[in-house]
Amino acid sequence: MKTLFFLFIIKRIKKYYNINKRLIRYNFVRPHHNYKSLFTENRKTKELEYKSYCTNIKNDYNTESTFDIHCKQSMEYLDNLEDLDVHYSSKPKIIQGCIYLYFWIYEKELQKSIYNKNNHDIYKKLLEQYNAYNTGSNINHICSTHIKDELNGNLKNLYYLYYIFYKLKKENEFASTDCKCAENCFTLYMDSISSCDNDISGEFCEKLEKFRSQYNEHMKNNVTCGEKYTYLPSAIKFDRKAFLISVLVILIIIFTLFGLYKVNINLN
């Protein structure tokens, strides 16, 4: 019985460690920089330099005519992101910048049906080609290491929520009265909270709840979109922490009473 108890404790510690590792990744969903500013107007000065590397990507995948310009813009963006790494040595900023670029080029280009769900592979190829262009860069190493599993499943949805919300707050791209950005946030959020029932650890739903709080605070004074898109319902149906703590306390009491019972038998 004691062995089972210690195995239970060890499993809980391992689970807590794994949760904390995932929570470190979740911390990247709040940008520390105005990444749109890295898309400058000086692309034409290096357009010929970028051309062959973008052609290498086009040779491996079917692309539309618009891919070339978006690829060159992305290469220039990575050049400017590289400057952040050189001047500030800020790995979180670089990782966030790579995630921002993924969703930028996804919206501009890679969501089109012609790419046949190769968007992630094309993005990896883009990072590789930038590394070939700028052999002294750490961008591909930093980003490939950290985003390998970042842009899948629930975590991808959370990043995308913050990407849309970031544009809503910082870039004012969705100032039109149709409130398209708010609608996108609402739809993706509602799709995401439907998976909370399968979120055993609860950390994903807690992060959704934090997003909800920020979004509702930002949108509470918005009078053009209507309540449907200005208020997000709670993602948490019950207090998971309180439930887990209660279960743990009950188990500790049971094992303690069992131990006292065994001691009492031995004394008698």
Residue 263 has pLDDT above 70, yes or no: no
**Which one, of 198, 140, 192, lies nearest residue 165 by Cα?**
192
Question: What is the pLDDT at residue 247?
Answer: 56
Based on the number of CB atoms within 10 Å of its own CB, is 237 exposed (0-12), middle (13-18) or buried (19 or more)? exposed
DSSP secondary structure code for residue 234 in this structure: P
Q: Within 13 Å and on the Cβ side, how many CA atoms surround 202?
A: 10
Q: Which two tokens stand for residue 65?
A: 């005519």
Residue 158 has pLDDT above 60, yes or no: yes
Instruction: Tell me: pLDDT of 31 over 90.
Output: no
Q: Mean pLDDT, to the nearest integer, of 114-124?
A: 90
Domain boundaries, the chain: 46-150, 152-237
- DSSP letter assigned to residue 168: I
Between 67-71, 173-177, 225-229, 233-237, the lowest mean confidence (pLDDT) is in 173-177
Most confident of 138-142, 250-254, 255-259: 138-142
Show the tokens assigned to 40: 């400058």
Query: Contact, 206 vs 234, CB < 8 A?
Result: no
Q: How do residues 33-59 score in pLDDT, each as one tens digit?
A: 677 777 765 555 688 899 999 999 999
Contact between 112 and 51 (Cβ < 8 Å): no
Q: What is the pTM of this model?
A: 0.72
pLDDT at 18: 47
Residue 191: both structure tokens together: 């799709």
H or E element that contains 251: helix 240-267
For 184-230, give the DSSP string: HHHHHHHHHHTTGGG-SS-HHHHHHHHHHHHHHHHHTT--SS-HHHH
